[in-house]
Structure 1
């Protein structure tokens, strides 16, 4: 059975391009994660790893969609190999059924990890420069126009903290931080 794995970093990103490519390759089942690839703790990846059986082939669009660092990539491929499952990365033309494919997998994984580190380094350097120039102030604070009114109802005991958070669409941490800030 051909199993496809798709990953994008955020809920807002689109998976269609990867899904179309996998369908064109004749995959039978696709697992989709909308989560950072910084580690292998992703729900659909775990489901896929439990789902695959001897003789299956896992196909991904590129290594970076499967894992972001060499260690995670090699551990995941090792788990697949132990189950006698093949791994194919379309972009890098890697097929782990061959010794050359296994070697190339290791090389490409290291290069992908290095590039990711370069991107993060350039991003940090850019933010420092932008801050020095007064152009970067971070993400603007989210507005909660009804906060004072709803927080007052909570303080008077008319509603619970959970109800206040739900009405405002705030997390527990953000709610209590804001309450503390206003109480000062």
Structure 2
């Protein structure tokens, strides 16, 4: 039985190293690591990502798959639920770093399976909704930054965070993490975490305005 870690980042997301460090800090150790770097897009399936495709072909019954959250296995509802269902049917155990969720593909109890599958469906829908909201915020930030091009306008205070930190805060808040936990994880102050929480679009605009 193997323990596998799969990480995926886009150009505007966390770094691969950050995701792996989070997993190791949570006590996970791996026999094999698969990584897709710069592979993004809500409509891009896991099977179309090189490492994702290889990982899906590698896992067997009894193996454990560790991911930061289930949105690493797809960014739209159909892809996430399809991939998770396939892995669970093989008998693979899926573990998330955020919230410490465990989806046991070896269970045969019908009630446990029903609860598990309902939770997977809910979390998959949340993953797509969050991905779409993030894209909207990023587009708003880009449009805001364009307004400054060629014009001597006041940019405002330089952001105290980078894009990887913003992604961590965004995902953590979306999954119910407390500001104190996120401050410790990112090195940001709690007041910065709260400002991002209060207006995520403004946080994206600030990064875009400063060219980050």
Task: Choose which of 22, 34, 38 in structure 2 pairs with 1:35.
Answer: 38
State how 1:1-184 maps to structure 2 within 5 Å: 1-10=2-11, 14-23=15-24, 24-38=27-41, 39=44, 40=46, 41-97=48-104, 98-99=112-113, 100-128=115-143, 131=146, 134-136=147-149
Alignment gaps of 5+ in structure 1:
138-184
The structural deviation recorded for 1:12 is 9.7
Q: Label 1:123 to 1:37 Cα distance change in 2 as closer, same or farther (>3 A).
A: closer
Match of 1:25, SS? coil
CA contact (8 A) 2:4 2:30 kept: yes
Whole-angstrom CA distance in 1 between matches of 2:30 and 2:7? 12
The structural deviation recorded for 1:52 is 0.8
CA contact (8 A) 2:22 2:97 kept: no
Structure with the greater relative contact order (CA < 8 A, sep ≥ 6): 1 or 2?
2
Q: Deviations over 1:92-136 (max 9, x none)?
A: 4332224333322221221121122122223334444555xx325
Match of 2:30, SS? coil
Task: Please report the TM-score for the alignment, with normalisation by the length of structure 2.
Answer: 0.55
Q: Deviations over 1:3-59 (max 9, x none)?
A: 110111139963222223334312221111103342221111111111111111111
Alignment gaps of 5+ in structure 2:
105-111, 151-212
Whole-angstrom CA distance in 2 between matches of 1:20 and 1:123? 26
Q: Label 1:136 to 1:119 Cα distance change in 2 as closer, same or farther (>3 A).
A: farther
CA contact (8 A) 1:95 1:101 kept: no
Whole-angstrom CA distance in 2 between matches of 1:12 and 1:37? 9
Root-mean-square deviation over aligned CA pairs: 2.6
Whole-angstrom CA distance in 1 between matches of 2:138 and 2:12? 22
The alignment covers a number of residue pairs equal to: 135
Q: Label 1:83 to 1:120 Cα distance change in 2 as closer, same or farther (>3 A).
A: same
Whole-angstrom CA distance in 2 between matches of 1:83 and 1:37? 26
State which structure, 1 or 2, has the greater radius of gyration over its C-alpha atoms. Answer: 1
